[in-house]
Amino acid sequence: KAGVTQTPRYLIKTRGQQVTLSCSPISGHRSVSWYQQTPGQGLQFLFEYFSETQRNKGNFPGRFSGRQFSNSRSEMNVSTLELGDSALYLCASSLSNPGSHRAMNTEAFFGQGTRLTVV
Amino acid sequence: SQKIEQNSEALNIQEGKTATLTCNYTNYSPAYLQWYRQDPGRGPVFLLLIRENEKEKRKERLKVTFDTTLKQSLFHITASQPADSATYLCALDAQGSARQLTFGSGTQLTVLP
């Protein structure tokens, strides 16, 4: 079974530009979460999607947005890039769904990440 | 405010010894606590999950304890090997769904041959 796939692996953008990152979850996983990882702040939750709807959102500005498609693939977009947006962006998928409180399968499967550098 | 701390940024131990990593949390009532391993330039990989009504969980050379009174989890690697060198992250999951994890800052473990 293929793991979580993120594209591209590396990206260099200029301040003020926008960027779109893609994530394909494990087949059968309908929940996709996004995280930002930086040396200073560590791994921070951005948002989570299930059935094409954003279910949870972290404490990030509105420049960070996402969406999920009917095949569970997800994209995140960052507009008006700032130098501080340079980070490893990680996507994770899981079998859990909003109706399965305290579900048995509660591990998150992460992709290899997209390394974004803003210059 | 909610806070999760892993008390050591870096830990060096000799091969064959037991590594013990600590995760403390405050202002949080987690349903689950998870431990992940992360190698440089790669995404975290799930290791173990422990529920709030469990005291201890084991998997091969790994052992996790969860003390909700102390608000602390300990992660042990016995008979450590150089291949165990990595960053270890604890994560709290209040919903018990792995859809919104709150991570500690990680402990970089180096096992010296």
Strands A109-110 and A53-57: unpaired
Could you tell me which chain B residue has the CA closest to the CA of A31? B99
Question: Is-contact B71 B26, C-beta < 8 A?
Answer: yes
- Between B69 and A101, the more confident residue is B69
**Tokens matching residue A91:** 């996507």
Choose among B24, B56, B58, B21: nearest CA to B38: B21
pLDDT of the residue at A98: 66
Partner residue facing B46 (CB), from A45, A103, A107: A107
Scanning A11-50 for CB atoms below 8 A from B yields 31, 33, 35, 42-45, 48, 50
**Most B CBs within 10 Å: which of A43, A45, A105, as the mutation test of the B interface?**
A43
pLDDT at A104: 58
Q: What is the pLDDT of residues A63-92, one digit of tens each?
A: 999 999 999 999 999 999 999 999 999 999
DSSP string, A18-38: -EEEEEEPPTT--EEEEEEEE
